């Protein structure tokens, strides 16, 4: 599903939306009366939230997946209420039509509330109720604000509470956005696989604790990155099931108050039809209202993906280091000048940008963990910050992976001669001699090679009775990268 349309607020949201001399309509709530601009679809509850929460400058409209999901939930609820005979067919039809317009992004400028809002998402839910009610009124030939005909609470919010609608919409939004994230992850994994396949026989040296280890191929190194990303991809696919278990119909605290006993299953059925997702009703609705484990699971998966991306970016930076005084085993594409004072310097700016995206995700995970841990008794009031952080984090990582793939990984060139030189010059390849001459003698050869600046092959030729042919076979770096060096020796011994 493509949510690019309406991904940013299309209008500037003022503090109250009630400019001097502007034509207004009067609305009321339990706190009193307020003037609402006549040309907006939102109402008094949205206006109060706009006045109360002027914090981040980021609005609900900046998360189109969430707006789409809320409208889908409202459509499902309207269909269920109509089927139960609780909502007149003409009103249900108008509400459903308005819901579909919102899902299509036509009213994306009508959701101006700051994402950091108190009330456990009540403001976002009421904003949606008001927009749908007023658009439904308009579709039916009525003026906005004629709530005696279609009311935001009595009709659009019928059989619902913020406490079941908002979490359900949040999970749907995450499930949809996960599809975009998975697509970016899959493409990046394939890019690493393609790079690995082109260098499956080009040898370098493996390193542990930043010290020389044993030979491997560049292909093996890059395939490892791809494998980690594929593991993340599988985790995201499995997470969809958890995100599709919803508490819709549980209403305020999970007991289903103000809702027909049949509503829960019907609303779930209609939502599955509308979204095409495997939506299921939570087996314990009271637990589902207060449980934020799904948000923690998404956060954990994002953190793991960020850790894998950072690992790949950091390794590429190291392997790119130099070119004269570093590893210089590969070159990432030159994207911009690297210094205002050092002529010709080029920095690995794309991996550096990826790292900074990952830092954001680590901070996101801390925020989500704290918010999830603060849910007292029958409700967690901090889902707005959780969903904001998670959707923003998913957007950041999806964009980071696209940037990483198109501006770095697909343009990497390998310095194969340098890799082979490092593989042949490492004293750690003496491990291949363990089975033939024993560990202690192999240690002595490694130490002498390091001290005298020679290769293990040179010292072993001087200090052992192994033939040149056998040493070449045992110390062949490509064979060692496949674990074949000692195997060949063992096969010879078995044959003899």
- Which of the residues are catalytic? 339
Structure tokens belonging to residue 52? 């109360």
Q: CB-hemisphere CA count at 13 Å for 207?
A: 13
As a whole number of angstroms, the distance between CA 385 and CA 131 comes to 22
As a whole number of angstroms, the distance between CA 419 and CA 329 comes to 6
As a whole number of angstroms, the distance between CA 475 and CA 459 comes to 12
Three-state SS sequence of 77-118: HHHHHHHCCCCCHHHHHHHHHHHHHHHCCCCHHHCCCECCCC
As a whole number of angstroms, the distance between CA 454 and CA 210 comes to 21
Q: Is 199 helix (H, G, I), strand (E, B) or coil?
A: coil
Show the beta-strand stretches assigned E in 412-488. Answer: 413-414
Structure tokens belonging to residue 413? 């060139």
As a whole number of angstroms, the distance between CA 470 and CA 209 comes to 31
Q: How far is CA 489 from CA 424, 461, 484, in A?
A: 19, 17, 9
H/E element holding 246? strand 245-246
Structure tokens belonging to residue 221? 């190194």
Structure tokens belonging to residue 24? 């207004």
Rounded (10°) angle between helices 349-373 and 383-407? 160
Check: CB of residue 116 under 8 Å from CB of residue 383. Answer: no
């Amino acid at each position: 599903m493509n949510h690019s349309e309406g991904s940013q607020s299309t209008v500037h949201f003022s503090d109250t939306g009630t400019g001097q001399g502007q034509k207004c309509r009067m609305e009321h709530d339990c706190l009193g009366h307020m003037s609402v601009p006549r040309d907006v679809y939102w109402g008094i509850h949205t206006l109060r939230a706009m006045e109360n929460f002027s914090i981040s400058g980021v609005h609900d409209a900046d998360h189109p997946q969430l707006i789409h999901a809320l409208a889908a939930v409202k459509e499902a609820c309207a269909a269920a209420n109509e089927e139960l005979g609780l909502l007149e067919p003409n009103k249900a039809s108008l509400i459903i039509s308005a819901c579909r317009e919102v899902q299509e992004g036509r009213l994306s400028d009508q959701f101006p509330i700051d994402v950091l809002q108190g009330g456990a998402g009540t403001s976002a839910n009421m904003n949606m109720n008001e927009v749908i009610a007023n658009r439904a009124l308009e579709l039916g030939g009525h003026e906005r604000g004629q709530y005696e005909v279609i009311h935001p609470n009595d009709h659009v919010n019928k059989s619902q509470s913020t406490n079941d609608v908002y979490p359900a919409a949040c999970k749907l939004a995450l499930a949809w956005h996960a599809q975009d994230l998975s697509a970016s992850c899959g493409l990046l994994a394939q890019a690493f696989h393609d790079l690995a396949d082109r260098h499956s026989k080009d040898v370098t040296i493996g390193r542990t604790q930043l010290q020389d280890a044993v030979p491997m191929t560049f292909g093996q190194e890059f395939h490892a990155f791809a494998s980690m990303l594929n593991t993340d991809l599988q985790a995201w696919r499995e997470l969809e099931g958890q995100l599709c278990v919803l508490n819709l119909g549980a209403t305020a605290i999970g007991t289903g108050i103000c809702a027909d006993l049949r509503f829960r299953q019907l609303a779930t059925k209609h939502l599955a039809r509308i979204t095409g997702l495997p939506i299921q009703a939570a087996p314990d609705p009271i637990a589902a209202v207060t449980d934020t484990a799904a948000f923690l699971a998404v956060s954990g998966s994002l953190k793991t993906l960020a850790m894998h991306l950072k690992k790949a970016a950091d390794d590429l930076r190291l392997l790119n280091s130099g070119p004269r005084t570093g590893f210089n085993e590969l070159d990432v594409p030159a994207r911009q000048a690297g210094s205002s004072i050092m002529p010709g310097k080029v920095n690995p700016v794309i991996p550096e940008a990826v790292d900074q995206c990952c830092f954001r995700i680590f901070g996101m995970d801390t925020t989500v963990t704290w918010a999830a841990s603060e849910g007292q008794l029958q409700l967690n009031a901090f889902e707005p910050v959780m969903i904001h952080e998670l959707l923003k984090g998913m957007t950041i990582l999806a964009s980071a992976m696209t940037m990483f793939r198109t501006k770095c990984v697909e343009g990497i060139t390998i310095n194969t001669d340098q890799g082979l030189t490092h593989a042949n010059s490492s004293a750690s390849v003496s491990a291949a001699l363990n089975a033939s001459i024993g560990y202690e003698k192999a240690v002595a050869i490694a130490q002498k090679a390091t001290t005298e600046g020679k290769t293990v092959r040179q010292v072993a030729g001087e200090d052992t009775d192994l033939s040149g042919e056998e040493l070449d076979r045992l110390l062949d770096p490509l064979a060692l990268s496949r674990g074949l060096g000692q195997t060949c020796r063992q096969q010879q011994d078995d044959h003899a």
